[in-house]
Amino acid sequence: MTVTEKFEKAINVNQFTITEELEMLNLIVNKYNFLSVSQYARKEKISQPAALKRLNTGKVMFVEMIGRKFIIG
């Protein structure tokens, strides 16, 4: 069983409290410096469509959650 599978199982059986889960999420978000597409576009001095094109072509890593894409800075 991989670490990811163990983590998923622990979450599914409510091994962690919601506070602990939110703290873990916060650690990950801060470690990888998630940027919205518009923040990334401003940082790179490109348009939002150009930023989205980079996402679609796989030139930048991103994660999709809550219906939005976040670029891993």
Residues 20 and 42 in one domain: no
Query: pTM of the prediction?
Result: 0.72
pLDDT for residue 26:
93
19: domain range? 1-32
Classify 68 as helix, strand or coil.
Answer: strand
pLDDT for residue 73:
78
Q: 11 Cβ partners below 8 Å, 6+ apart?
A: 21
pLDDT in tens, 35-49: 999 999 999 999 999
CB atoms within 10 A of CB 71: 22
Residues 26 and 44 in one domain: no
Residues 66 and 43 in one domain: yes
Weakly modelled stretches of the chain, pLDDT under 70: none
- The residue length of the chain stands at 73
pLDDT for residue 50:
96
Domain count, the chain: 2
